[in-house]
Amino acid sequence: SGGVSRDCPTPAPSASAFLSFYMQSAAVGTVIGRGGSKIRELEETSGSKIQILKGDFEVEVKLFGSYAAQMKAKELIENIVERRNTDELNGAKRTDRSNASKLGSSARNSSDTNSAKCGSVNSPRPFINWNSLRENKEKYEAMKWAGLSPIKKNFY
């Protein structure tokens, strides 16, 4: 399953630490459930507090509680997302983004910044060169609007 590898040595975090990882925004509804019922069930089952922070394409999931509770909650969430991916691949909802629904490669613990190096995923996340995108912003903007007709500004 997609997520943190099990053979990565991870020190036991302090009680105030949290585990953080990323998943695709499209899978959030499955994890939260109708009216928040699924996320409440996950919190009760694992003993961990689950916080989901919105993003455009990915969401950050933060797990609070004991280390064992965090690992249990992460495993339950991975299972739900994996089941969703399998259903999506086998069902009528099959799309090209189904492979991107895997959990993100970053697993961070707030008390140990080195634990992010231990994350692994079935497929590597694509590299985004942000500097190149910033430098070429005007070029991309021009390409974006190139096919549209010009705006007539005769307001009066």
* Residue pLDDT tens, the chain, 156 long: 344 333 444 444 455 688 889 988 888 999 999 999 999 999 999 999 999 998 888 899 999 999 999 999 999 999 998 888 888 777 744 444 444 444 444 444 444 443 443 444 455 677 788 888 788 888 888 888 888 887 778 777
Residues 22, 46: Cα–Cα separation, whole Å: 19
Q: How many CB atoms lie within 10 A of CB 17?
A: 21
Inter-CA distances, 57 with 23, 34, 50, 95, Å:
9, 21, 19, 16
Residues 61, 126: Cα–Cα separation, whole Å: 20
Residues 119, 100: Cα–Cα separation, whole Å: 16
Residues 78, 71: Cα–Cα separation, whole Å: 10
